[in-house]
Structure 1
Amino acid sequence: MIAWRLGWRNLWRNSRRSLITISAVGCGYAILIVLIGLTVGMAGQMLKNGTGLLMGDLQLHHSDYLPERSLYDTIGSDSSSELEGVLHQLSLYPQLAGRSPRVYGFGLLSTGENSAGARLMGIDPQVESGVSSFLSGLQAGALDDSVERSLLLGDVLARELEASIGSQVAIVTQAADGSLGNDLFQVSGILHTGLSYLDRSLAVLYLKDLQELLALSPDEVHEIAVRIGDPMAADAFAAQLNASENWPANTVAQSWGELAPQLRDYVGLAQGMYGFIILIIGLFTAIGVLNTMMMAVFERSREIGLVAALGMRPLLIVSSILLESLFLGILGLIGGFGLGAWGMSYLTTQGLDLSRWMGEVSMLGTRMDPVLKASWGWDYVLWSALGLLSATLLAALFPAVKAARLNPVQALSAPVEG
């Protein structure tokens, strides 16, 4: 109890210096909260865009489909992986939030004298909207079931073909039965995803129309994209599906992390960055606290020598100085939390609008939002507080030990404070 009282009283003996140090700790804590919040928020946005635009949280394929994406390796191509059986097994899991069967192909699109290669994608729009958001990028029109053989084109691809809504587009492709699939489709929508590789190559058809064009049966698909509640749980869910006794032998579930390892590495790096940020800010905070406590010990050398000569134990001297540092840290954290929370209240709702400088940017195969929003998390708020508090205590340890080892005779000959 004596050490606590000494620590608190000593803190205010030089109130100006103490307030400066408390402010430094508080500013450091506020900066930590904001920087880590922005870093985690950016990683979250990248993950949301990367999985939400098209990929989904995980995907199901025939075991031989990837990486070649062979036209012939479909779910439903044999009795061991019937489409209805796979969809039924998926429906048994409460984590399931949406699933969308898809068919893919590659073909040559032409409108009169203009032609271009394209990636063909067959979907059911009603279930696709529960898995991905790329259809929200429609600039005009939509897949229209009232139009025979309706077609969506990426906006760059449409410009190359000089096609617009209502244009007739001929598609020629290799079919699964060895024949040459070809037919006329009518453009019913123009799509903009923000990813150049999709906007210049993607052609979206109804699932049944592409199955017919590729000579696939209605029970054959190349992919089932799956949405669950938490993308970070995708690895565990994919492993659970693959390990299930009733799971079809030739159907493999892969999480977004397996499908996009670069995105996984980036998200992991961004989420792990806050340890590095805490270390850097903690180092600067420790230097400030060390300077403050060294000055305090120097100014009090005479009285420290006096109480030591009167019999005060070295442990009590160390404790009083460490507790003074602890009070510095706690008061700084209280102020810094308020400042950081105020900054985060703006950054989590309004964000940093970078559209003036960056415009539309894509990275690692996903779109980056021009408005960067922070993400609040009690985990990093608490870890940051513990990191800075530890830094203040460690910084005070050297001055505290130095004070406890002062020679009383030499200390009493030191100049009086003030």
Structure 2
Amino acid sequence: MLTKIAWRNVWRNKGRSLVVIGSILVGIWALLFMVGFMNSFTISYINGAIQHEISHIQIHHPDFKKDFQIGYTIPKGLSIAESIPVEPGVEAVSPRSIATGMISSPRKANGVRIYGIYPELEKSVTHHDSLLVEGAYFGSGKRNPIVIGKELAEELKVNINSKVVLTFQDEENNLVSGAFRVTGLIETTSPTINKATAYVKMEDLNRIASIGDGIHEIALLLSNPENEPLILDKLKADHPNLLIESWRNLAPELELFLSMTDSFLWVLFGIIMVALIFGIINTMLMAVLERYRELGMLMAIGMNKGRVYVMIVIETIFLSLVGGPLGTLIGLVTMNWIGIHGIDLSAYSEGLREYGYSSILYPSIENSTYLYVTIGVVLTALIGALYPAYRAIQLDPTKALHMV
């Protein structure tokens, strides 16, 4: 009976009820949009770093990362790299030789990390061939080709076909150098690659460094990131003498960024829910004050205060059950649409690139988030109904019946 009365009471004043439903709907939509928008920044930043720079898993000599000595190559590195693609869940593998040195042009010099790569294998891991803004990805046929970031090229004041010189230490700690011809310029979301990284063919770098077929790094891109722990454990078991790390260890700042974003989203969730609580309290309190005579009459004819209290709470829950699913549905449609078409922030692309973000963001939300938001709104409405319901049962039926 109470449920039936509460449902009728909700629609007796349609304007007031629609205001509450609208506030719940807009609150849920705004929350879902903000969660999706923040997720798009997180996903863009982390995916950009994984796909264009660090990959999901890297393998090194245990001592190589201490000071990046060129002599610390992976024992039988090429054989290990060739055997890894047979592991299920591994999409692509790229072996690399690495040197740290200087890159110089006739006009300027700069510090640089030099990667010796197999272009066909490397592009399947980092997809740098799709990020070319000028030139070709090692396809020009020129001797000693090199691909660098566009910002580095601007710093050195070089263009396509310009000559640059790489200088670094060989295995015997002797300074060696080689002349290279710029064949391609790339532009990624990674400031490190854009400003301080150069890619050459492994055969060219290894010849100058006198390390033969030695490699320093094996980068793995996975087809399903969720399989990362299993693949990581298996690789560590198969190669216990090597340093094998996931992107979480390689770039702990990404893990920190992810946890900070999650914390911020919970804070945002709390702020919107608190605002929603006060909106519901305000509207339902007005509804109670307008119905003093009605509520007084109900208590005068025998409805006890407990049943009046429950009736007011049920009315608020009904409003949330109407507004909640509608807000979730509109939020779901919105997220699906902009998740496909993206949010174009090209006007801010230069600034976004400085911090490692793409200029087009694709908001996304986990399915469980929709459930959490809906439950959260219902609980918020329930909390928001407690005070108006309490005020309702504090009235004196005798005085309420004489109110105009």
Structure 1 length normalisation: TM-score?
0.86
List gaps (5 residues or longer) in structure 1. Answer: 77-81
1:396 aligns with 2:382: no
1:14 paired residue number? 13
Write out per-residue CA displacement over residues 224-258 of structure 1, whole angstroms, 9 at most, x where no aligned residue.
1111134465456434532x2xx222212211121
Write out per-residue CA displacement over residues 356-392 of structure 1, whole angstroms, 9 at most, x where no aligned residue.
245343456xx21223332143222221111111100
More helix by share: 2
1:290 aligns with 2:281: yes
Measured in 1, the distance between the counterparts of 2:403 and 2:91 equals 70
List gaps (5 residues or longer) in structure 2. Answer: none
Stretch moving more, 386-395 or 130-139: 130-139
Deviation of 1:195 after TM superposition, in Å, equals 4.2
Stretch moving more, 165-174 or 15-24: 165-174
Distance 1:42 1:256, change over 3 A: same
1:273 paired residue number? 264
2:208 paired residue number? 213
Deviation of 1:163 after TM superposition, in Å, equals 3.9
Deviation of 1:133 after TM superposition, in Å, equals 2.5
1:349 aligns with 2:340: yes
Contact 2:107 2:157 in 1 (8 A): no
Write out per-residue CA displacement over residues 121-141 of structure 1, whole angstroms, 9 at most, x where no aligned residue.
111111112211233222112
Q: 1:100 aligns with which of 82, 90, 94?
A: 94
Number of equivalences: 403
1:35 aligns with 2:30: no
Measured in 2, the distance between the counterparts of 1:42 and 1:32 equals 16
1:65 aligns with 2:64: yes
Write out per-residue CA displacement over residues 3-33 of structure 1, whole angstroms, 9 at most, x where no aligned residue.
2101101112222211111111111111111
Measured in 2, the distance between the counterparts of 1:12 and 1:361 equals 49
1:79 paired residue number? none
1:259 aligns with 2:253: no
Contact 1:54 1:133 in 2 (8 A): no
Deviation of 1:401 after TM superposition, in Å, equals 3.9
Q: How does 1:3-402 map to 2 (within 5 A)?
A: 3-76=2-75, 82-84=76-78, 86-87=80-81, 90-111=84-105, 115-138=109-132, 139-144=134-139, 146-193=141-188, 195-218=190-213, 220-231=214-225, 234=228, 237-242=231-236, 244=237, 247-357=238-348, 359-362=350-353, 367-402=356-391
Deviation of 1:298 after TM superposition, in Å, equals 2.9
Q: Which amino acid in the other structure matches residue 333 of structure 1?
A: G
Structure 2 length normalisation: TM-score?
0.89
1:414 paired residue number? 400
Deviation of 1:176 after TM superposition, in Å, equals 0.9
Stretch moving more, 347-356 or 386-395: 347-356
Deviation of 1:88 after TM superposition, in Å, equals 5.8
Write out per-residue CA displacement over residues 272-324 of structure 1, whole angstroms, 9 at most, x where no aligned residue.
43322221111111112112222333333444344445443544333322211
Contact 1:354 1:372 in 2 (8 A): yes
Measured in 2, the distance between the counterparts of 1:358 and 1:162 equals 22
SS at match of 2:12: coil
Stretch moving more, 144-153 or 378-387: 144-153
Measured in 2, the distance between the counterparts of 1:109 and 1:49 equals 25
Distance 1:253 1:357, change over 3 A: same
Measured in 2, the distance between the counterparts of 1:375 and 1:63 equals 38
Measured in 1, the distance between the counterparts of 2:38 and 2:20 equals 27
SS at match of 2:87: coil
Stretch moving more, 196-205 or 21-30: 196-205
Measured in 2, the distance between the counterparts of 1:321 and 1:314 equals 11
Measured in 2, the distance between the counterparts of 1:328 and 1:307 equals 22
Measured in 2, the distance between the counterparts of 1:102 and 1:238 equals 19
